[in-house]
Amino acid sequence: MGPSVKDVAALAQVSVGTVSNVLNRPEQVTPEKRKRVQAAIAQLGFVRNESARSLRSGSSRSLGMLVLDVRNPFFTDVALGAEDVAEEHKHSFILANSSEDARREQAYLDLFEEQRVQGILITPVGDVLQRLEAMQSRGIPSVLVDRLAGSENFCSVSVDDVAGGRAAIEHLIAGGAERPAFVGGPFTLQQVADRHAGALAAAAAAGVQLQVFETPNLKFERGRHVGDLIGDLRQSRRPDAVFAANDQLALGLLQSFTANGIRVPDDVALVGFDDIDFATQSSIPLSSIGQPRQLIGERAARLLFDEIENPHGHEHQQIVFTPELVVRESSRRPG
Amino acid sequence: MGPSVKDVAALAQVSVGTVSNVLNRPEQVTPEKRKRVQAAIAQLGFVRNESARSLRSGSSRSLGMLVLDVRNPFFTDVALGAEDVAEEHKHSFILANSSEDARREQAYLDLFEEQRVQGILITPVGDVLQRLEAMQSRGIPSVLVDRLAGSENFCSVSVDDVAGGRAAIEHLIAGGAERPAFVGGPFTLQQVADRHAGALAAAAAAGVQLQVFETPNLKFERGRHVGDLIGDLRQSRRPDAVFAANDQLALGLLQSFTANGIRVPDDVALVGFDDIDFATQSSIPLSSIGQPRQLIGERAARLLFDEIENPHGHEHQQIVFTPELVVRESSRRPG
DNA sequence: GTTCACTATTGAATCGATTCATACAAGGGA
DNA sequence: TCCCTTGTATGAATCGATTCAATAGTGAAC
C-alpha cells in the first residue's frame, strides 16, 4: 500500500536501519543523513505502520479503559484524567463501554488482549477478577477504578463512600435537621450501601433517627417519585432534610418539591452525591458530595504505568480518596 | 511471549495453515482436526495477535472516532450509536477526544493513520479537510459528523439547524410571544449562526422584531449572566420569550430567572436546543429542540462502512436530519 | 485401471519496522 | 606506524498470522 521504510531508505540512499534510527533515535544519526531521511519521509508521505512496530516489539503502545457507562459524566471525567496521562506517556487510549453488560465486558477484554494493550483500567461489571489475574500473569496488568480491590493482586483507586455519607448527614444535622432521611438503592450496590452506612452512623452519633426510602435504582424518575411520596406526608412526619445517594435522584426530588410548593432549603434541605456539573446548574443549586473525578483517572493511570514500566519492583496500592462536601443553596440555612 | 499459531499447530499436530483456517474459515476444516486445534488453543490459552494479522492484511479491523468534547452528552450519545454499528461489523472502536484543540486533532489523526484504522468519523475542529482528502486517497475514508460537508468528497451527517431555530421561534410566537429574543454565540460557530438565521426568518415571517443577545460561548455561566441582564430590563422592554442556542445557556437563564423571581413560563417562556437529559430534569422542565443523537452516529457509521466495503461503487451522501421540538413546562402556556 | 474432479492440508513466502552483530571510518595515544 | 576507542552505518534475521501454489488423498466415471 503506502510507502514503507524500504522506500524511504531507497529514496534517501541509506539503509533501512538508518531510517529506523531516524525515527527512534535521531540523535545517533549524522545531521546530514537525518535531513535526507526526513526529506524522503515528507516527500513520500510515509506513515509508520504501528502494527509492524508492535508485532516486533511484542506490545502496542496503548492503554485500554473499560467503563460501566460512557453516558455517565462521572466516567467520562475519569477517562479524561486517564487519557491525559496516557498522552504524557505517548500511549494511545482506547475507551470502551461495557454498558453494565458482562458479555460486552468479556468481548472488550478479548479485544484488548488481541490488541496487546499494555495495560487496562477497568470498572468491573461481572466476575472478571480471575480473568484479570490471568491476563496480569501474561503481562497485561490492570487497575480497578471506582472499586476497592478485594484482592491484594491489583491496584485500585476508589472513594470512601462511608465518609461521604457521614459528611452529608453531619452537615444536615449541623444545619438544624431534626428528621433527616436517606434516599437511594438498591443496597446491593456497594456504593449505595456504603453511603447509607455512613449516613446511619452519623445520625446515630447525633442521637437522631434516620428515615430510609429505598429505591430500585438511582435514576431521576425514582427521585421524583420519592419526592411525591414525601410531599404527601403530614408535615409532622415529613423529613426536614434529605440526603440522596446520587445527584440524579436529588434532582428528581428537587423537581418534585418545586412542583409541590415545598421550599428548598427552607422546608426541606437537600444534599446529593457526585457533584455533577448539573448540580451547580439546577434552578436551586444543589449541595453535593464531590469526588475528584479527573484525579481518580489520573492516579489510576499513573499506577498502571508504574506497573507497566517496572513489573517486578511494583507494589500494589489501594488509593482511597475522601470525597468532599460542596455546600450550595439547597442546604444553606440561616441556623 | 504468549503462544503463537506455531505452538498451537505443534500441539495439535497440524500445520500452521490449518490453524489459520480454523480461526478464519472453520467450515473448510475436517471436524476432527478442527476439534484438535480448538482444544490446543484452549489448552495453551492462545490469543490471536491482532498486530500480526493487520500487518499481513494491510489494515486493522477498527474505526476511529474523533469528537470535539467527550464531556458533552451530545457526543457520547452519537458515539454510542456509532459504536453499536462498529460492533455489528466486528470492528473495534477507538474513541478519541480533540477537546476542541486543533493540535490534538492532528495528533489523533496521526495516530489513526499509524494504526491503519479502516475509517474515521470526525467532528472537525481545525482546518483538516485537505488532510482528510489525502487520507481518503490513501484508502482511509472519513465521514463528517454534525457538520455538513462543504465539499462533495465526503459523506456527512448533520442536523438542519436553520429549521430548528425556525421551529423554536414559531412555537414561541404561537404561544403568544410578542417580544421574542435569541440568546447565543459566537456567530462564527456555524451551528449558532444557523439557529439564529432560522429564528430571524421565523420572526420576520410573523412580522415580529427579534431581540438578540450575543454571547462569547455557549456555557451555563453566560446564560446566567444574560438572564441577569434581562431581569434588569424594564418590564416593557423585557422579552416575553427566549430561545437559547443550547440547553446549557437555557439552564443558566432559568436559574437566573428563578433567583430573580421571574416566572417561567408565565413571565418569560423558554426554549433550548439539544434536548439533553437534564432538560427534562431541571426544576421546571425545559422545552428544547431535540436531535436524534444515537441515530446520527449510527447513520454516519453505516455510511462509513459502505465506503469501506465498496470504495469504488460508493457515492457520497449528505444526510441532514430535521430536529424536533419537544414542548415541556418552560414554554407551555394557556394560550 | 486410468483419468478427472474435488476437497483437505501443507509450508514457504509475505507484510513492515526494529534489532543487533558486524563493518567501517576517523581520530588519539603510544 | 600500529592499536584502540568512539561514533555511524549496514542489512539479514525477526516478530506472528495469513495466503496461495502445490500436493496428497478420495471417490466417481468410464
CB A148 within 8 A of CB A128: no
Cβ of B60 near strand C (distance < 7 A): no
Same domain? For A314 and A299 the reply is yes
CB A23 within 8 A of CB A80: no
Same domain? For A195 and A228 the reply is yes
Domain residue limits at A269: 161-291+325-331
Is there a domain that residue B36 lies in? yes
**Cis peptide upstream of residue B323 (ω within 30 degrees of 0):** no
Summarize the confidence of residues A321-326 as an average pLDDT.
Answer: 97
Summarize the confidence of residues B242-270 as an average pLDDT.
Answer: 95
Same domain? For B250 and B199 the reply is yes
CA A26 → C1' C21, Å? 21
> Nearest C-alpha of chain B: how many angstroms from A31?
25
**A93 in contact with B at a CB cutoff of 8 Å?**
yes
Same domain? For A169 and A283 the reply is yes
Q: Which residues of A touch B55 (CB under 8 A)?
A: 49, 51-52, 55
DSSP state of A27: G
Is there a domain that residue A53 lies in? no
Same domain? For A62 and A133 the reply is yes
> Nearest C-alpha of chain B: how many angstroms from A316?
23
Is there a domain that residue B53 lies in? no
Summarize the confidence of residues A7-13 as an average pLDDT.
Answer: 94
Distance CA A87, CA A90 (A): 5
Measuring CA to CA, which residue among B274, B250, B265, B277 is closest to residue B164?
B274
Cβ of A6 near strand C (distance < 7 A): yes
**Main-chain phi, psi angles of B242, to 5 degrees:** -130, 135
> B334 falls in which pLDDT band (50, 70, 90)?
low
Is there a domain that residue B149 lies in? yes
Q: CATH no. for residue A134?
A: 3.40.50.2300
pLDDT tens per residue, range B208-222: 999 999 999 999 999
Which residue among A80, A95, A139 places its CB closest to the CB of B71? Answer: A80
- Contact assignment for B49 to A116 by CB distance below 8 Å: yes
Is there a domain that residue A137 lies in? yes
Distance CA A72, CA A220 (A): 13
Distance CA B22, CA B39 (A): 11
- Contact assignment for B258 to A284 by CB distance below 8 Å: yes
Is there a domain that residue B98 lies in? yes
Give me A151's grid cell.
484482592
- Contact assignment for B278 to A278 by CB distance below 8 Å: yes
Q: Which residues of A touch B94 (CB under 8 A)?
A: 92, 94-95
Q: Which residues of A touch B97 (CB under 8 A)?
A: 80, 83
Strand C: list positions under 7 Å from protein Cβ. 8-21
Measuring CA to CA, which residue among A11, A7, A86 is closest to residue A49?
A7
Residue of A nearest to B70 (CA): A76
Cβ of B29 near strand C (distance < 7 A): yes
pLDDT tens per residue, range A249-289: 999 999 999 999 999 999 999 999 999 988 999 889 999 99
The number of distinct structural domains making up chain B is: 3
Distance CA A162, CA A321 (A): 11
pLDDT tens per residue, range B130-181: 999 999 988 999 999 998 877 788 999 999 999 999 999 999 999 999 999 9
**B100 in contact with A at a CB cutoff of 8 Å?**
no
Residue A334 pLDDT: 66
Q: Which residues of A touch B282 (CB under 8 A)?
A: 251, 255, 281-283
Same domain? For B180 and B213 the reply is yes
CA A51 → C1' C16, Å? 8
Residue type at A79 in one-letter notation: A
**B96 in contact with A at a CB cutoff of 8 Å?**
yes
Summarize the confidence of residues A306-319 as an average pLDDT.
Answer: 92
Distance CA B244, CA B242 (A): 6
pLDDT tens per residue, range A198-242: 999 999 999 999 999 999 999 999 999 999 999 999 988 999 999
Selected for mutation to probe chain B from A7, A84, A95, A247 (highest B CB count within 10 Å) is A95
Is there a domain that residue B284 lies in? yes
Same domain? For A62 and A82 the reply is yes
> B69 falls in which pLDDT band (50, 70, 90)?
confident
Summarize the confidence of residues A157-172 as an average pLDDT.
Answer: 97
Same domain? For B123 and B100 the reply is yes
Residues 13-32 of B with CB under 8 A from A: none
CA A17 → C1' D11, Å? 7
DSSP state of A59: S
Same domain? For A300 and A257 the reply is no
Cβ of A1 near strand C (distance < 7 A): yes
Same domain? For A313 and A200 the reply is no
> Nearest C-alpha of chain A: how many angstroms from B116?
7
Residue A152 pLDDT: 81
- Contact assignment for B283 to A284 by CB distance below 8 Å: yes
